[in-house]
């Protein structure tokens, strides 16, 4: 489904990687690893179309993502180093509002149960500002789960999560892949994934 074809990424005046090609199909998971600064974030941003590669193309279902535009974006969820949660809004409002902006409104009830699953039961109505670092990250993850999209691009999703939450997230990724979805992840920690077809891509700076 997701193909990278001869990608090259240049940041500043250094080429981070070149001739990078891979293919991830439905029901597969790709783990991108590499040292700090090896270009994992840059790769993920290229894959979702936020950053233009120096060379090469990214294809989704055989078509270049530039050509697909909104059609591609409606199938994708991206979670970056930044969690994109609004500190003023409550956790529940955050999830609802973000889903509406992404063009996939969800009923309030669904938002609350996603938050509960993410371990924020009874904190749904607190403003996010007062949540701890890990709790904020969980709000972002709850939003991800609700998206119902086929392609997950997760940049260090387990940052700030405690061991329980890491296990829960790994389970969710497993289920997503088992459902036929595609997941591309980066992480410096080991993720207890059970999915069979796990590819690993190692970037070296």
**Which lies closer to ligand ATP via its Cβ, residue 26 or residue 80?**
80
85 lies in the binding site for other proteins (CB under 8 A) = yes
**Alpha helices, H only, the chain:** 40-48, 65-68, 70-73, 91-101, 108-117, 133-147, 163-178
User: Which range of residues in 30-38, 100-108, 162-170, 183-191 is near other proteins by CB under 8 A?
Assistant: 100-108
76 lies in the binding site for other proteins (CB under 8 A) = yes
Distance CA 65, CA 59 (A): 5
Distance CA 138, CA 35 (A): 25
87 lies in the binding site for other proteins (CB under 8 A) = yes
41 lies in the binding site for Mg ion (CB under 5 A) = yes
Please give the span between the terminal C-alpha atoms of the chain, in angstroms, as a whole number: 27
Distance CA 110, CA 190 (A): 30
Distance CA 99, CA 106 (A): 7
Q: Which residue has its beta carbon closest to ligand ATP?
A: 12
User: Which range of residues in 7-15, 64-72, 130-138, 188-196 is near Mg ion by CB under 5 A?
Assistant: 130-138
**Which lies closer to Mg ion via its Cβ, residue 21 or residue 132?**
132
Site string for Mg ion, 73-112 (x = CB under 5 A): ----------------------------------------
Taking CB within 5 to 8 Å according to partner kind, which of other proteins, ligand ATP, Mg ion, none is near residue 51? Answer: other proteins
- CB burial of residue 145 (10 Å; 0-12, 13-18, 19+): buried
């Amino acid at each position: 489904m997701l193909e990278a074809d001869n990608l090259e990424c240049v940041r500043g005046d250094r080429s981070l990687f070149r001739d990078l090609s891979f293919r991830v199909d439905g029901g597969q998971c790709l783990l991108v690893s590499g040292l700090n600064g090896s270009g994992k974030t840059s790769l993920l941003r290229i894959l979702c179309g936020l950053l233009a590669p120096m060379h090469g193309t990214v294809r989704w279902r055989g078509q270049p993502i530039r050509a697909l535009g909104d059609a591609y974006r409606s199938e994708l969820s991206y979670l970056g180093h930044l969690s994109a949660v609004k500190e003023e809004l409550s956790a529940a409002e955050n999830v609802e509002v973000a889903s509406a902006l992404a063009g996939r409104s969800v009923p309030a009830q669904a938002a609350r149960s996603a938050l509960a699953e993410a371990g924020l039961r009874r904190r749904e109505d607190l403003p996010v500002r007062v949540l701890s670092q890990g709790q904020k990250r969980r709000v972002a993850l709850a939003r991800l789960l609700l998206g119902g999209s086929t392609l997950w691009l997760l940049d260090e999703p387990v940052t700030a999560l405690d061991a329980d939450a890491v296990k829960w997230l790994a389970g969710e990724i497993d289920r997503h892949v088992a459902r036929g979805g595609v997941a591309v992840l980066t992480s410096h920690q080991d993720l207890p994934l059970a999915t069979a077809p796990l590819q690993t891509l190692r970037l070296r700076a």
